[in-house]
Amino acid sequence: MSVLTKPLDPLSEARICLPHVNWQQYETLIAMFGDRPHLRLTYLEGNLEIMTISPEHEMLKKMIARLIEVYALERDINLFSCGSATFRREAAARGLEPDESYCIGTRKDLPDLAIEVVISSGSIDKLKVYQGLGVKEVWFWQDNRFSLYCLNDSSSDYDSIERSTFFPDLDFTLLATYIQPEAEPQAVKAFLQALRQQGGK
């Protein structure tokens, strides 16, 4: 079995890619690594990628989560946190742990929304994984901007979208300006103030 690796830097994200991994082996690895929150396992049709999460990655994903949760609270949107739990579907041969995920309206078996922070590129197309899981909407944060995708019920493919179907009034350009982990408390407060100036509760 060949293994592809990237150099290990304690401040970056290291990846190990394993081909020809069957479902039972994948579930065994989940059980082995399940208590290590700084690892992500992404599985797609026999290919497994194991990635370490850098401090920068953790700060960014928590910053985004706080802002989204403040927005939902301020706009009276029923948001249910799913976090970075492992979601998998054997029939589709897919599984992963989102950086953050949510159900909207009611709690469900799978999240409606997944959020991914991209600092370094991986070998597995996560949209294909989410497609097989049936996650309705996926947001990627990369290079200081959001890219949004919505699952098309007709084609079962993801369409690139400008606005969220779950948060149609959320201005993502505005949201991006407050993703400042180094000034997290002040940024969250300033974002809340901006929302109230726009009009809300």
CATH of the domain at 167: 3.90.1570
5 falls within a domain? no
Identify the domain containing residue 130 by its residue range. 55-198
Whether 45 is in a domain gets the answer no
At 43, list the tokens. 């599985």
- Does a structural domain hold residue 119? yes
- What is the token pair recorded at 166? 């779950």
Which distant-in-sequence residues (6+ apart) come within 8 Å of 85 by Cβ?
97, 101
Residue 180 within a domain? yes
What are the per-10-residue average pLDDT scores of the chain (201 residues)?
Answer: 37 86 96 84 97 94 98 98 96 97 97 96 94 98 97 94 97 98 97 89 45
Instruction: Give me the number of domains the chain comprises.
Output: 1
Question: Does residue 189 belong to any structural domain of this protein?
Answer: yes
Strands 79-81 and 100-104 come out as antiparallel
Both structure tokens of 144: 């200081």
Task: Report yes or no on 184 lying in a domain.
Answer: yes
DSSP classification of residue 65:
H
- Maximum Cα–Cα distance for the chain, whole Å? 57
Q: Which residues of 38-51 are buried (b: 16+ CB within 10 A; e: fewer)?
A: eebbbbbeebbbbb
Q: Is residue 147 part of a domain?
A: yes
pTM of the prediction? 0.90
Q: Is residue 13 part of a domain?
A: no
